[in-house]
Structures are given as C-alpha cells and as structure tokens.
C-alpha cells in the first residue's frame, strides 16, 4: 500500500486542481454572461456578473492558501513542485479573467445606453474563441497535455486577427458617422478585454509547457 | 556561526530579490522610454523599447527558475516560503509591465503617423504615477514594508481618476473633430496600458501584504 503521506499529498493536489477548475469555470461563465448581456441587451445580466465577482475572489485566496500549505507540509519535488508553482500563477490569471468579465460588463452597461446601432462586430465570435482557449488551457494543465497547450498558443493568432478586423471596421464607422463614436469605443474596449482573456489562456498554456518540459529535462539527467 | 545551509539560503534569496529589482528597473525604464517617444515624437525610442523586451523575457525565465530551485533545495517555511511565492507572482507582473511598455510603444508609433494635434492629455502624469507605484511596490517587497504597500494601493484611485478625466477629454475632442478620432483612440489605449501598469503595481503591493500579514497570523499561533 502507498505511503499515507504520499497518498494524502496526491489527494490534496487533486483537490487543488478541482478548485482551480471550479474557479476557471466561474470566470468563464462570467465572461459568457457579460457577452450575453451585450447580445440580448439585458442589463440584469450585468448585475449578475458584478455580483458574482466576490466568489471568484474568495476562491483566489483559498487556492493561494492551499498552494502555500501544500508546499510547507509536503515539500514536493520535481513535477509536483512545478505543478503547484503553476497553480499559483494560473490562480492569478483566472482572477484577472474574472476582473476582465467585470470590465466587459461595465463597458456593456455604457454601450446599452445608446440605441441599437449597426456597428459591425464579432464580439460573440471573439468571446467563444477566448473561452475555448481558457477551457483548453485548463484541461491541458490538469491532464499535463503539452500538445493541447501548444494548440492554445496557436489559437491566440486567430483571436488577435479577429480583434484587428473589428478595430478596423469600428474605426471606419466612427469616421463615417460621429453618432457611432461612443458605442464603437466601448466595443473596441470589450474586444481588448477579450484579447486579454486570450492572453491569460496563453499564460496558462505556457505554464503547462514549463511544468511538463522541465520534467523532461530532469529526466534527461540535467 | 550560522548554519551554512541557512546562510546559503539567505544569500540566494537576496540574489533573487536583486534580480527581481533589476527586472523591475528594466520594465520601468521601458515604460519611461515609450512615453518619452510620445513626448519627443522620437520614433527611434520606439525601436529601443521593442528591442529591449528580450532581456526582460530572459530575466523572467531565470527568476522563475531561481524560485523553483530555492523551493526544491531549501524547502523554506513561513515568511521565507511566502516570499518566494510572492516572487513568482511579482515576476509575472513585471513581465506583463514589459509587455505593456511594448504595447505603448506600438500605439505611439501609430499616433506619430498623425500630425501634432492639440488633444488634451496627461499621459506623462499618468506614466509618472504608474512608475512611482511600481517602484514603491518593489521597495515594499524588498523591505517587507506593509505601510508602503498600503500607500501603493491608495495611489491606484488617483491613477484611475486621471484615466477617467483623459477619457472624457479625448472623447469630447473626437466628437468635436473627426480628424482627432484616430490619434485620440491611440491616446485612450495608451492611458489604459498605463492604468494596467498601476494594476500590476497594486498586485505586487497586495502580495507584500499577504506575505507579511500571513506571517503575523502564524505568530498568533493559528
């Protein structure tokens, strides 16, 4: 039978992973709801995002605490140590995604003060892409899947391209019709927030590669 | 005489702090140069920022590596453990500040394609404030100075207020004169990047408070 101390560590590590996934799920849900508020022009959804941020912040503190305790009590080595370091970083990234969902919600609130316009945008497309990157990056972390992490890094170019297209279209509409300046500005800011969510997913993917490939280097006896 | 293992750990920790300060100094310098490019309308300074990012990225990898090695070899406890966890997080924040300096430089390049305008801005004021916050937050980390960290948190409101004022002024000029739309947009984006640098300084300050106050909690026997 396994050493109970080792078994206990593995259980605690799995618990940590589960909490990180829970936090990732919450952050992703907030982004989804904030964008839904824009699509449905539904201000009640904005309050849902703003009201839900405290839960993410509580998880942020709890996960940091779990990481420090795991390091202090079990003094893990090699890939276990790197997994916990990665968890600390990923925890910060997910908290920022929660903040960005709040920023999106605030921009949506301003945007909805204007009558419906015909600004060309693909905010839902950008949001889908960014959320998918975040989900894949967290899956890659839990499964220590370096190929999936690499896939996330590749997706980032597509997100940047969508942002650049949107920016050009929105700028054209602002130049053509000054009534669209204010709402277009908010859409530009929302697209930047979504781009940053993609950046956080990229950070997570990079942490996965760092975690796994450092293990490989050690396996080569360096 | 002190245990050589302990002495070695303290030396390594000081070395880590020195490298973090070096990285902070580089990141701050890049922000300064990017804003100087705007003020002096000097495109050569932009290339200096873009070309210098590799040095920050190398330090980022090196500092992460030092943190993992310190944890693996010395298995520190209490405030020493928390200091290294904080260093991992601060390292990420400083790398993002370097990225934001690059983003500012890119926006300045676009901005300088337009003839000099009279857009009302206080970009240099925002930059001074954000850089000061970053410097103070790093000082607070090295000195474990919770009061200075709290001071940084208070400064963030002033930075947000500057950003909000600038946004209102720039929006007015865009609405009044469509020739100012493109350059004003870039100034809005630059002010957002500076606001985010303030957010990173705030993160560092929060890490300092977490690091120091968690020690206090343990001293109370919890």
Q: How confident is the model at residue A2 (pLDDT cuts 50, 70, 90)?
A: low
For chain B, give the percent of residues with pLDDT over 90. 86
Q: How does B121-130 read in b/e, with b if 16+ C-beta sit within 10 Å?
A: bebeebbebb
Name every chain A residue with its beta carbon within 8 A of the beta carbon of B92: 89, 92, 203
**Which residue's entry shows tokens 């597509």?**
A158
Structural element, H or E, at residue B126: helix B123-143
Tell me how far apart the alpha carbons of residues B15 and A73 are, in angstroms, rounded to a whole number. 26
Distance from CA of B218 to the nearest CA of A (A): 12
Better-scored residue on pLDDT, A117 or A24? A24
Residue B72 has pLDDT above 80, yes or no: yes
Using a CB–CB cutoff of 8 Å, tell me whether B210 touches chain A. Answer: yes
Q: What pLDDT sits at residue B129?
A: 97
Residue B137 has pLDDT above 80, yes or no: yes
Share the mean pLDDT of chain A. Answer: 91
A169-200 pLDDT tens trace:
999 999 999 999 999 999 999 999 999 999 99
Tell me how far apart the alpha carbons of residues A67 and A76 are, in angstroms, rounded to a whole number. 11
Residue B219 has pLDDT above 60, yes or no: no
Q: What pLDDT sits at residue B119?
A: 66
B149-191 pLDDT tens trace:
999 999 999 999 999 999 999 999 999 999 999 999 999 999 9
Using a CB–CB cutoff of 8 Å, tell me whether B175 touches chain A. Answer: yes
Contact B92 A203 (CB under 8 A): yes
Share the mean pLDDT of chain B. Answer: 91
* Nearest Cα to Cα of residue A180 among B188, B178, B110, B114: B178
Tokens of A204: 């997570």
Q: What pLDDT sits at residue B182?
A: 95
Q: How confident is the model at residue A6 (pLDDT cuts 50, 70, 90)?
A: confident
Radius of gyration over every alpha carbon of chain A, rounded to an integer in angstroms: 20
Tokens of B177: 């004169």
Residue B213 has pLDDT above 90, yes or no: no
Q: At what angle do helices B181-219 and B123-143 cross, to 10 degrees?
A: 20
Q: What pLDDT sits at residue A99?
A: 95
Split into its structural domains, chain B has a count of 1
Instruction: Choose the closest CB to B88 out of A77, A89, A185.
Output: A89
Contact B182 A171 (CB under 8 A): yes
Tell me how far apart the alpha carbons of residues B126 and A53 are, in angstroms, rounded to a whole number. 27
A130-177 pLDDT tens trace:
999 999 999 999 999 999 999 999 999 999 999 999 999 999 999 999
Mutation target vs B (from A76, A114, A181; most B CBs, 10 A cutoff): A181
What's B113's DSSP letter?
Answer: T
**What are the Cα distances from residue A41, in Å, to A36, A115, A129, B66?**
8, 10, 21, 49
Instruction: Choose the closest CB to B85 out of A68, A175, A188.
Output: A68
Contact A89 B85 (CB under 8 A): no
B9-49 pLDDT tens trace:
999 999 999 999 999 999 999 999 999 999 999 999 999 99
ipTM of the assembly? 0.89
Q: How many helices (H) and strands (E) does chain A have?
A: 6, 0
CATH number at residue A149: 1.20.58.220
Q: What pLDDT sits at residue A200?
A: 96
Contact A175 B175 (CB under 8 A): no
Instruction: Choose the closest CB to A71 out of B71, B185, B192.
Output: B71
Tell me how far apart the alpha carbons of residues A21 and A15 are, in angstroms, rounded to a whole number. 10
Using a CB–CB cutoff of 8 Å, tell me whether B67 touches chain A. Answer: yes
> Domain range spanning residue A60?
4-219
């Amino acid at each position: 039978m396994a050493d109970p101390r080792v078994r206990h560590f593995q259980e605690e590590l799995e618990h940590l992973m589960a909490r990180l996934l829970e936090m990732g799920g919450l952050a992703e849900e907030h982004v989804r709801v904030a964008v839904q508020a824009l699509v449905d022009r539904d201000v009640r959804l904005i309050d849902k995002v703003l009201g839900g941020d405290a839960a993410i912040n509580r998880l942020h503190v709890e996960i940091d605490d779990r990481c420090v305790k795991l390091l202090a009590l079990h003094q893990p080595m090699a890939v276990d140590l790197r997994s916990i370091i990665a968890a600390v970083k990923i925890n910060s990234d997910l908290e920022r995604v929660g903040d960005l969902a709040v920023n999106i919600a605030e921009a949506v609130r301003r945007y909805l003060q204007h009558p419906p316009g015909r600004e060309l945008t693909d905010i839902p497309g950008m949001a889908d892409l960014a959320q998918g990157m975040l989900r894949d990056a967290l899956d890659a972390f839990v499964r220590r899947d370096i190929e999936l992490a690499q896939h996330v890094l590749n997706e980032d170019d597509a997100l940047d391209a969508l942002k650049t297209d949107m920016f050009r279209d929105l700028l054209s509409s602002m130049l053509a019709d000054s009534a669209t300046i204010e709402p277009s500005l908010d859409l530009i800011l929302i697209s930047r927030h979504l781009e940053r969510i993609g950046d956080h997913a990229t950070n997570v993917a990079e942490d996965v590669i760092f975690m796994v490939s450092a293990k490989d280097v050690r396996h080569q006896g360096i």
